[in-house]
């Protein structure tokens, strides 16, 4: 069974660390800038999320688990589907991919967080893939 078809996990995970759950799992309705980049237009978020789910279902058997986990993270972060908590949600989804393959979740250390935001400035996913692959390989 494809776990990506059940988006209810987003609603549960989105409440982690929040004082209010009124908008948990609700896509944003306003346009936003993220690090000087324009995120997906609010009106296009449902379509982009549907395409993300289709892509994830088609690629979840990818043998390069680190690459797939990085792509999941990057795609969700770039869609920026919520008003707040998108990075947290992207990291949780990435870690769900890893845990489903019997790997440990990745925790980004403080020094990595400084580099983290730059992975999204020019939409270049390769440095993120390299870093996640390095962190996954440390577990093996």
Whether 59 maps to a domain, the answer reads yes
Rounded to the nearest 5°, which phi and psi values hold at 119? -70, -15
Give the per-residue pLDDT at 111: 79
94 touches 106 (CB < 8 A): yes
List residues forming the annotated binding site.
84-91
13 located within any domain:
no
> Is the Cα torsion angle 12, 56, 108, 30 positive or negative in sign?
negative
Average pLDDT over residues 30-49: 80
User: pLDDT per residue over 93-139, tens digit each?
Assistant: 999 999 999 999 998 887 777 777 777 767 778 888 898 999 998 88
The residue annotated as part of the active site, out of 73, 74, 80, 81, is 80
Task: Give me the domain span that covers residue 46.
Answer: 27-139
Annotated binding site for ATP: 84-91
Total number of domains constituting the chain: 1
Average predicted confidence (pLDDT) for the chain = 80
Residue 49 belongs to a domain with what CATH number?
A: 1.10.3290.10
What pTM, to 2 d.p., does this model score? 0.79
Instruction: Reply yes or no on whether the pLDDT at 33 is more than 80.
Output: no
pLDDT at 79 over 80: yes
- Identify whether 80 is a catalytic site residue: yes
């Amino acid at each position: 069974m494809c776990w990506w078809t059940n988006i209810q996990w987003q609603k549960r995970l989105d409440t982690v660390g929040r004082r209010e759950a009124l908008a948990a799992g609700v896509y944003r309705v306003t346009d936003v800038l993220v690090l000087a980049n324009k995120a997906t237009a609010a009106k296009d978020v449902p379509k982009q999320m549907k395409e993300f789910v289709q892509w994830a279902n088609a690629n979840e058997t990818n043998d390069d688990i680190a690459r797939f986990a990085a792509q999941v993270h990057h795609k969700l972060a770039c869609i920026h589907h919520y008003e707040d908590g998108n990075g947290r949600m992207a990291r949780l989804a990435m870690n769900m991919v890893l845990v489903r393959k019997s790997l440990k979740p990745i925790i980004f250390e403080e020094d990595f967080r400084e580099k983290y935001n730059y992975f999204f400035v020019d939409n270049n996913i390769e440095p993120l893939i390299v870093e996640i692959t390095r962190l996954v390989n440390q577990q093996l």
